[in-house]
Chains A and B, each alone.
Chain A
Amino acid sequence: MTVTLLMLAFGAALTPFRAAAASPAVDRRPVALVAVGATFGAIVVVAALSGPLLDLLGVTGATSRIAAGIAMLAVAIKDIVVRPPTPEPALPGRRAGLIPLAFPVLFTPAVAMLAVAGAADRGVLVAAVTALPALALVAGAVVVGPRLGRRSFVAFGGCAATVLAALVTLDGVYAI
């Protein structure tokens, strides 16, 4: 998987529109920081566990990319057909960045599988760094707020994610 594809895939899986839909009415900047920090931390942890996890499952890195693609597709379809997430229920104050924003809005199974697959293929550092541009967009979107989280925008993000999901899947299929 190329670094570019991994970066784009994180962008599609961490779609800023979905995050914006769950953005709270107040304290958006600190909430955005908490959400992005917690999501990044989770990505790093999962990426660091990638090797042992795949060894435990007896799965190759190539097959984990297929799994990541399928998980991305499932999340993308959900974004297209299901109403976007809402800011409530949420933990109070900036902890809203943890719940619901980081978990479960941002750190979906698709993002977790991408972290595993990306780390297996490119190493933990690359997997973590390639998630940063998408997380920066997410932070911006959370600060801008719900007007970026309209259903049509989230669905558009889902459409883009289906394309990236197909590319990630094919990358795994044709991998050696």
Chain B
Amino acid sequence: MVGLTAIAVHPERCGRPTDAGLRTGAEQAVAWFAANIDDEGDFLYRYDRDRATDEAGYNDTRHAGVLWSLWQAERLGVEGAGAVAEAGFARVERLLVDTVVGPAVGVGSRLGSGTVGLLVATLDERRLATGRTDLDGLLVDFGHTLAAVVNEDGSVSANIHVVDGPDDSRSPFFTGEVMWALARLHLTFPDEGFDAPALRIRRYLVHDRDDVESPWPPVSDHWGAYAFETMSRWPDAPAMTDADRTWRRRQLGLFSLQVRYESQRVGGVTTLTRGEIALAAGVGTLGEGLGNHLLHALSTDDLESDLDTLVTRADCAAHLLVSRQITENDAAADAEPERSVGAWFRLGDTQMDDQQHALSALLLLEEVRHELRAREAAP
């Protein structure tokens, strides 16, 4: 019985990174992207540190995610991030495709709606970071593509066929990505009618999505968290319903459980009882989910859960990321240190979305701390 109980009560190795630690971690991640982009705007997708080899593959949705995170970093003052994002946009321009419902991006005849969603976030964030409006036409056109993938019931078609348009495929993450993109568009272009499809997705996400698409386990949806936070900044923000709060409470539980579990993975015997550490992309999404729900709660004062506990969990996610990031010292003996410094590895491999989600999580936690201090300073 003691043994069984001990399996459940591993120590949770959490901490609270300093502000400087968060900033350095973000800067190092941006530096990794800067060092690992080629002349065509493609990033190093996956790298095996032990064998010092680039591994095959690419994913345009992840490429779009990287661009969004880099513009987020630029907006929040990480030097050079915007230039890398601008260079990475070359791949988007190269793979831009006109489909029957509007522009999309990718290779082949079947393109992801999530890619378009993250590109909307990218272009909108670029707009915020630089004030430039030269790509507004494409941004709005992307928005109309997204409006076309939202079905009557609020579900989101994951694939867009160039000739036949959206199909009935679903993705655990594209739903939140598209909702977030439309939510952002409504903030930036309030007269274009992007709020209606965004609200349809919100209703579906809260009431039906898990039952219809993923009865078990429920989706741990950091993109949904981004969308809720963005919608809370609409001038005509929808009120939180009991169902919204129930959904958010369950999401926070999922994020927190995963943070607690991950913090128990400290090597040694825990490798047997808890397994290897998670991908940094996964840990990053936990920080993103918690960070967005915290920002939402702080701006609206609408949170029934204990704020301090949530901040502790978000700090813990950031601590795990900061403590696992490869430093120059760690990579001193590497054959290709520029492939490793600033990156996160699991079992010797890193993938560009590890850096992307970790980067966004660290930056979000910076924003949370800023908001908390502003709140404390308020009379």
Contacts and interface: CB of A to CB of B under 8 A. Distances in A.
Interface of A: 57-60, 62-64, 66-67, 69-71, 74-75, 109, 113, 173-176
Contacts of B12: 58-60, 63
A69 B309 CA distance: 22
Contacts of A75: 1
Given A63-B8, A70-B4, A176 B309 contact: yes
Given A58-B12, A63-B9, A71-B4, 15 more contacts: A57-B11, A59-B12, A63-B10, A66-B8, A66-B9, A67-B9, A70-B4, A71-B5, A74-B4, A109-B5, A173-B257, A174-B250, A176-B249, A176-B253, A176-B310
Contacts of A70: 4-5, 7-8
B378 interface: no
Contact of B254 (A57, A58, A67, A174): A174
Interface of B is mostly: helix
23 contacts: A57-B11, A58-B13, A59-B9, A59-B12, A60-B12, A63-B8, A63-B260, A64-B9, A66-B9, A67-B8, A69-B8, A109-B1, A109-B2, A173-B253, A174-B257, A175-B253, A175-B257, A176-B249, A176-B252, A176-B256, A176-B305, A176-B306, A176-B310
Given A57-B11, A58-B12, A63-B12, A175 B4 contact: no
A74 B1 contact: yes
A169 to B, nearest CB: 8
B11 A62 contact: no
Contacts of B253: 173-176
A176 B11 CA distance: 17
B23 interface: no
Which 9 residue pairs spanning A and B have beta carbons closest together? A58-B11, A174-B253, A67-B8, A67-B9, A74-B1, A176-B256, A66-B8, A67-B5, A71-B5
A113 B1 CA distance: 12
Contacts of B184: none
- Residue picked from A58, A74, A176, most chain B C-beta under 10 Å: A176
A75 B4 CA distance: 11
A172 to B, nearest CB: 8
Contacts of B249: 176
A63 B274 CA distance: 14
Contacts of A67: 5, 8-9
Interface of B: 1-2, 4-5, 7-13, 249-250, 252-254, 256-257, 260, 305-306, 309-310, 313
Nearest to A74: B1
A16 B18 CA distance: 52
Contacts of A64: 9
B8 to A, nearest CB: 4
Nearest to A170: B253
A113 B7 CA distance: 14
Residue of A63, A64, A175 with most chain B CB atoms under a 10 A cut-off:
A63
Nearest to B310: A176
Contacts of B310: 176
A59 B306 contact: no
A70 B8 CA distance: 8
A10 B119 CA distance: 53
Contacts of B5: 67, 70-71, 74, 109, 113
A57 B1 contact: no
Nearest to B312: A60
Q: Which of B11, B13, B306 has the largest count of A CB atoms less than 10 A from its CB?
A: B11
Contacts of B305: 176
Residue among B1, B9, B250, B257 with most chain A CB within 10 A = B9
Nearest to B13: A58
Most buried by A among B8, B11, B260: B8
Contacts of A174: 250, 253-254, 257
A75 B241 CA distance: 41
A71 B5 CA distance: 6
Contacts of A66: 8-9
B317 to A, nearest CB: 13
B240 to A, nearest CB: 17
Nearest to B7: A70
A61 B288 CA distance: 23
B6 to A, nearest CB: 8
